[in-house]
Amino acid sequence: MVVVGGRCAGAPLATMLAQRGMRVCLLDKARFPSETLSTHVIQPCGVGVLDRIGLLDGILAAGAAPLTRFTFVSDGARMEATVEGGLFEHPSISMRRLVLDRLLVDGAAVAGVDVRTGTRVTGLLWENGRVTGAVAGEKRIAARLVVGADGRGSTVAELAGARKYRLAPQERIFAWAYFEGVEPDGHLRLGSLGDLTYVAGPTDSGLYLAAACPPMKDRESFLADREASYAAALAAWPELSGLLAGTRRSGPVRVMANWHGYFRQPAGPGWVLAGDAGNFKDPSPAQGMADALRQGERLADSIAAGFRVGDLDACLRRWGRWRDKDGREMHWFAADMGAAPKKRPLADQILRDIAADREDTRRFLRMLNHEIRPSRLFTPVRVARAAARVARREPRQLPAMLKEGVREVQKASQRVAQRPPDRVTERLLLALTVIGFVVPNLCVLLFLGEEGLDTGGYFSLWFTSTPSTQLVLDLAIAALAFFAWVLAEVRRAPFARWWVCIPATFLVGLCFGLPLFLWMRERALWKHAPGRA
Ligand SMILES: Cc1cc2nc3c(=O)[nH]c(=O)nc-3n(C[C@H](O)[C@H](O)[C@H](O)COP(=O)(O)OP(=O)(O)OC[C@H]3O[C@@H](n4cnc5c(N)ncnc54)[C@H](O)[C@@H]3O)c2cc1C
């Protein structure tokens, strides 16, 4: 087994596979300790996975900060909760990636994984349309399965041709820094005030993390003077700036200004994607790491089951369907949470209603922890009640609420349309392949019926006029370009019997060879797409 990428998705997965008795090679181009642009909150469900694989004690001993108190402030709404009283088995934790990711990689080595850092994967090995290993520089590493846990710019996804769907635009940038001297009180604060959103809380080594997220419209002005802009952003939340007053900044302001949300095709023959490589969502609800850990745990079981029953591909397809179902609602909820500021009287009222009820506030936290789906909390009844309250208490807000409703309906219909690709293209290409075979052969039969078996006469007719010669040359050049592209394409992502398109073009025509190749390629790409048996 080869796992490419050794952070939150790759290293724990490699550990879990090794713990299930498999031989695993973990490759990462980075050398650890290594920084990556991300804040640090791991939701309780992710902490549970770290506990189950035996790494939690070490992580806590190395100074991860438990987060036992939660505040969410949105214009007009304030939710407060503590994790006492059995809300979660573990509290969230926070630890800088510089420290955490090294512990994860070390944990994999202790579990018996062959860890190779400073090793960049540049290619995949293929056999009959199946990935059979990875190429890292001069080294070729054979494997029954290659896991791409190599993040948003995944090389494995690129080489395997995994396509993206459910795209969500970036609507904010993230800017954060650390402070020394804040009392470590285990208090995580999320805020949405005016144009800005915030994530703030203690992390390891006595540091305090404060992130502020301005909307994309302010990107250029923010980046033009990030120090001053960051300071102004913190000052705009008095509760946070009060907490930081008299403390000392440690290190620069870090900025993440370039990302978008997506899903990628989860698996194919001999490969599978885990963590950000397969799915990235707006970081506002701070779930990416816990997602990577949860996905890894389930994937390790699926891979073990696949080898046990002798049908790895079917088990990976099932896992891919689970991943999509598990992540879809939260993907869009995260996009809404990080959306650019707009007037949202209805959403504000819904949050006020949730904040006013202790049990609903706890359900909000359980939703962030992936225990209940957003649709179970934001039910039509709750929305209708909130709308009635706005209409009764603030009739002046009615036009804005109407606009908000129209926007939500438009957004929902766009999101429904963003389903994983279906088989329409494949069917269209098959139809064109059949037509491309039948039509030229009919023409040949007609000619034979009229002229008898006169091959020389048939071909000489191609050049009887300048326009017909032009057409023949046009097709010949197009066929040569097609062959060149086919050769490049199958080097990148080969599939079984791709070569038949070449005799098909010579014997029947480009109108047959071209759609035939595209149809076979489409089938190979989507054989393992989610939702397909
Ligand atoms: C601004 C921001 C804030 C965030 N805040 C939070 C938060 O508070 N909580 C949370 O849970 N999530 C957060 N996230 C999301 C979180 O960072 C990711 O979901 C998480 O890092 C995913 O881990 P991963 O292992 O899938 O990918 P990565 O962490 O991206 O790791 C991929 C690894 O693959 C390696 N790699 C890449 N290409 C190759 C190659 N060709 N060969 C070998 N190795 C390769 C890289 O070196 C890297 O080490 C945030 C994200 C952003 C952008």
Which residues form the domain of 382?
343-417
Q: Is 475 helix (H, G, I), strand (E, B) or coil?
A: helix
532 is a domain residue: no
75 and 9 in a common domain = no
pLDDT at 455 over 80: no
Number of domains composing the chain: 4
First to last CA, the chain: 24
Instruction: Report pLDDT for 532.
Output: 40
Q: Best mutation site among 7, 96, 197 for ligand 1, i.e. most ligand atoms within 8 A of its Cβ?
A: 7
289 and 377 in a common domain = no
Question: Of 304, 322, 341, which one is at a domain's C-terminal end?
Answer: 341
Q: 373 or 415: whose pLDDT is higher?
A: 373
Q: How far apart are CA 253 and CA 261, in angstroms?
A: 24
244 and 392 in a common domain = no
User: Which atom of ligand 1 is nearest to 11's Cα?
Assistant: 25
pLDDT at 526 over 80: no
DSSP 192: E
How do beta strands 248-256 and 174-180 pair? antiparallel
Instruction: Report pLDDT for 484.
Output: 95
User: Which atom of ligand 1 is nearest to 10's Cα?
Assistant: 25
466 is a domain residue: yes
- 421: pLDDT confidence band, cut at 50, 70 and 90? low
Which residue carries 């009739």 as its tokens?
A: 395
pLDDT at 533 over 70: no
Q: For residue 100, give Cα distances in angstroms to 39, 97, 187, 251.
A: 12, 5, 20, 18
Instruction: Report pLDDT for 527.
Output: 57
Fill in the amino acid letter for 364. F
Instruction: Report pLDDT for 529.
Output: 44
How confident is the prediction for the chain on average, in pLDDT? 93
Q: Is 106 helix (H, G, I), strand (E, B) or coil?
A: helix
28 and 126 in a common domain = yes
Fill in the amino acid letter for 522. E
Tens of pLDDT, residue by residue over 370-408, are 999 999 999 999 999 999 999 999 999 999 999 999 999
395 and 452 in a common domain = no
440 and 498 in a common domain = yes
Q: How far apart are CA 87 and CA 44, in angstroms?
A: 10
Q: Is 344 helix (H, G, I), strand (E, B) or coil?
A: coil
Q: How far apart are CA 309 and CA 131, in angstroms?
A: 20
Q: Is the peptide bond before 33 cis (omega within 30 degrees of 0)?
A: yes
pLDDT at 142 over 90: yes
Q: Is 268 helix (H, G, I), strand (E, B) or coil?
A: strand
Tens of pLDDT, residue by residue over 170-210, are 999 999 999 999 998 999 999 999 999 999 999 999 999 99
473 and 442 in a common domain = yes
**φ, ψ (nearest 5 deg) of residue 206:** 70, 15
CATH number of domain containing 190: 3.30.9.100
271 is a domain residue: yes
405 is a domain residue: yes
User: Which atom of ligand 1 is nearest to 290's Cα?
Assistant: 11
Choice among 22-31, 53-62, 115-124, 405-414 with the minimum mean pLDDT: 405-414
**Residue closest by Cα to atom 35 of ligand 1:** 5
377 and 233 in a common domain = no
Distance of CA 151 from the midpoint of ligand 1 (Å): 5
Structure token pair of residue 345: 């009287």
Q: How far apart are CA 143 and CA 131, in angstroms?
A: 8
Instruction: Report pLDDT for 255.
Output: 96
Q: 116 or 427: whose pLDDT is higher?
A: 116
Structure token pair of residue 465: 């006029």
236 is a domain residue: yes
Provide the CA 368 distance to its chain's centre, in angstroms: 17
**Residue closest by Cα to atom 2 of ligand 1:** 38
CATH number of domain containing 305: 3.50.50.60
Task: Assess contact for 13 and 277: CB atoms under 8 A.
Answer: no
Distance of CA 362 from the midpoint of ligand 1 (Å): 28
Identify the residues whose C-beta falls under 6 Å from ligand 1: 4-10, 27-30, 36-42, 120-121, 149-151, 155, 174, 256, 259, 275-277, 283, 286-290, 292
201 and 103 in a common domain = no
Instruction: Report pLDDT for 528.
Output: 45
Q: Which of 89, 96, 101, 338 is nearest to 205 (CA)?
A: 96
281 and 137 in a common domain = yes
531 is a domain residue: no
219 is a domain residue: yes
189 and 137 in a common domain = no
Instruction: Report pLDDT for 431.
Output: 96
Question: Of 387, 417, 447, which one is at a domain's C-terminal end?
Answer: 417
pLDDT at 468 over 50: yes
Task: Assess contact for 397 and 352: CB atoms under 8 A.
Answer: no
Instruction: Report pLDDT for 530.
Output: 41
Q: For residue 388, give Cα distances in angstroms to 77, 381, 382, 408.
A: 18, 11, 10, 17
| Residues whose CB is less than 8 angstroms from the CB of residue 227 and which lie 6 or more positions away in sequence, other chains included | 253
Choice among 40-44, 127-131, 238-242, 288-292 with the minimum mean pLDDT: 127-131
Distance of CA 295 from the midpoint of ligand 1 (Å): 14
482 and 507 in a common domain = yes
533 is a domain residue: no
Question: Of 229, 258, 287, which one is at a domain's C-terminal end?
Answer: 258
pLDDT at 169 over 80: yes
